[in-house]
Structure 1
């Protein structure tokens, strides 16, 4: 059985921008490793992969939670017709972070130039709001009423 979420991995073209973005949400850089072929590359099905693997840890999270960034030496080509914030696409949809004060967190993010993608919505005893993160990924803030 699953115990809890452990990490989310995001491929990025600009690791510094992504690190700064996730720092706004309380993540700190914990570990950086270089993948240059070898076991990690074979495990991921890309034996010739060259990338920086950057682990960001959410400070104070219990249980432990990480965002793992992959900054490829040669970023893979992107499909200009499939923008990551398109919530109807198949595959990865969005990541959600629980917060205590959605209004304060929203103000903090907007003040730091983060693009809001939706107005706040009340849904099933929680407040929700969508934002655009690094590489155009969609992330959501969740404030539960419990």
Structure 2
């Protein structure tokens, strides 16, 4: 039935600021964007958002995954705060790294904020950081 994950999507407040963060700090490859505003009835119907107007960027993550960033221009988002991880619909993207300690140290030197120290749980080390909108992103190192 399901064969894998194609992409992950995040709604951000400023697509250009987010492009800079994901490209310069995380080293992701930008393959599209930022786009001019996208709109129209087909897009509105597909997203079930009347009169939607958005800009996007698309990154390649690893060998085959994609990360899509959307800045919704219209209608304005209902909140400027990220969804709390204990809320229905909340999600978190987990990025696999080879050396979590070195990666965390490198990102901290670039000013990236981390929510905690590195934790260990059932064959992996993990830590949560924040993107420019306060969206939690997880770094994971598999240890087994």
TM-score, normalization by structure 2: 0.87
Q: What is the number of residues matched between the two proteins?
A: 140
The aligned counterpart of 2:73 is: 73
The aligned counterpart of 2:48 is: 45
CA–CA separation in structure 2 for the residues paired with 1:71 and 1:87: 21
TM-score, normalization by structure 1: 0.86
Deviation at 1:5, TM superposition (A): 1.5
CA–CA separation in structure 1 for the residues paired with 2:15 and 2:66: 15
Question: Can you give the 5+ residue segments of structure 2 that lack an aligned partner in the other structure?
Answer: none
Q: Residue deviations 1:41-80, cap 9 Å, x none?
A: 210111311111211112xx23x1111111122431307x
CA–CA separation in structure 1 for the residues paired with 2:99 and 2:65: 20
Contact kept? 2:83, 2:90, Cα under 8 Å: no
Deviation at 1:85, TM superposition (A): 6.5
The aligned counterpart of 1:36 is: 39
Deviation >3 Å, runs of 4+? none
Q: Residue deviations 1:104-143, cap 9 Å, x none?
A: 1101211111111011111101111111113211111100
CA–CA separation in structure 1 for the residues paired with 2:84 and 2:53: 28
Contact kept? 1:85, 1:132, Cα under 8 Å: no
